[in-house]
Amino acid sequence: MNHDKVTTGLKQNWRQFSLLVLINAFVDGMVGLERTIQQSPQINRFQESCTII
């Protein structure tokens, strides 16, 4: 592999691009999962204040 030559374009770098898409999908999935599982304290406070009234 020649490290002096830099090639650009999706066709030449499809492996790196695929890895980037895979990592981004995983991270976004984890963030979405965390947001659905853990409710924010503001939501809990709002629900508590509604039940008191």
2-53 pLDDT tens trace: 567 887 888 889 999 999 999 999 999 998 888 777 766 666 666 656 655 5
Asked whether residue 30 is domain-assigned, the answer is: yes
Which pLDDT belongs to residue 44?
Answer: 62
Which pLDDT belongs to residue 42?
Answer: 63
pTM here is: 0.56
Asked whether residue 24 is domain-assigned, the answer is: yes
Which pLDDT belongs to residue 34?
Answer: 80
Contact between residue 7 and residue 14 where contact means Cβ atoms under 8 Å apart: no
Which pLDDT belongs to residue 49?
Answer: 60
Asked whether residue 9 is domain-assigned, the answer is: no
Which residue segment(s) compose the domain that 23 sits in?
14-52
Asked whether residue 26 is domain-assigned, the answer is: yes
How many structural domains comprise the chain?
Answer: 1
Asked whether residue 4 is domain-assigned, the answer is: no
